[in-house]
């Protein structure tokens, strides 16, 4: 399905019809959930990534990674569950919007990076023992990529509405 075809389908879907029927405050409330989701996601990721890149070395990595990845997951779920209905309200308006092709590929790359980092030996090891320099470097690279991809995704998303 083409991008335009998908957007038109999404707009005419049951989700689109349902979201449009929710009343004059619904878009604002759904938008609020989206912002809270992004705040949780990016706030958590920022703390973890800066730690992985060398900040706050006195904070044990394993103690920080658990709450931040947990909160980031919750934030991501909130952002997706609010983002889809928001897009479905008037999806056809975004046909040809170049920022779609910034935001969604960046989210894809960010998720791929999460997968690769979490599968790495370094990430597996950080829960049980101190990391070797090579492993720290691996996670620092992953953290830098993470910040780059998520910031790109958020920027693309914000600019969508101003195209």
Q: Cα 135 vs. chain centroid, distance in angstroms?
A: 25
Distance CA 161, CA 27 (A): 14
Exactly one of 14, 25, 58, 133 binds another protein (CB under 8 A); which one? 25
Q: Which is nearer to another protein, 27 or 125 (CB)?
A: 27
The yes or no reply on residue 24 touching another protein (CB under 8 A) is yes
The torsion of the CA quartet 82, 118, 42, 147, rounded to 10 degrees, works out to: -130
Report the site for another protein in 60-89 (rule: CB under 8 A).
89
How far, CA to CA in Å, does 143 sit from each of 47, 53, 113? Answer: 10, 7, 9
Q: Which span (22-30, 71-79, 98-106, 149-157) binds another protein, by CB under 8 A?
A: 22-30
The yes or no reply on residue 31 touching another protein (CB under 8 A) is yes
Q: Which is nearer to another protein, 45 or 89 (CB)?
A: 89
Report the site for another protein in 92-151 (rule: CB under 8 A).
93
Query: CB of residue 157 vs another protein: minimum separation in angstroms?
Result: 14
The yes or no reply on residue 14 touching another protein (CB under 8 A) is no
Calculate helix-pair angle for 133-160, 100-119, nearest 10 degrees. Answer: 160
């Amino acid at each position: 399905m083409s991008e335009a075809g998908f957007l038109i389908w999404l707009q005419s879907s049951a989700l689109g019809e349902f979201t449009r029927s929710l009343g004059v405050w619904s878009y604002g409330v759904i938008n609020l959930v989206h912002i809270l989701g992004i705040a949780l996601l990016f706030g958590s990721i920022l703390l973890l990534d800066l730690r992985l890149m060398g900040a706050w070395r006195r904070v044990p990595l394993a103690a920080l990674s658990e709450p931040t990845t947990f909160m980031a997951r919750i934030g991501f779920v909130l952002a997706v569950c609010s983002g889809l209905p928001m897009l479905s309200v008037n999806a056809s308006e975004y046909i040809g919007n170049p920022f779609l092709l910034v935001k969604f590929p960046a989210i894809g790359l960010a998720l791929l990076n999460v997968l690769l980092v979490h599968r790495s030996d370094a990430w597996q090891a950080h829960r049980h023992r101190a990391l070797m320099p090579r492993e720290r470097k691996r996670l620092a690279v992953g953290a830098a990529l993470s910040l780059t991809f998520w910031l790109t995704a958020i920027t693309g998303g914000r600019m969508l509405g101003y195209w």
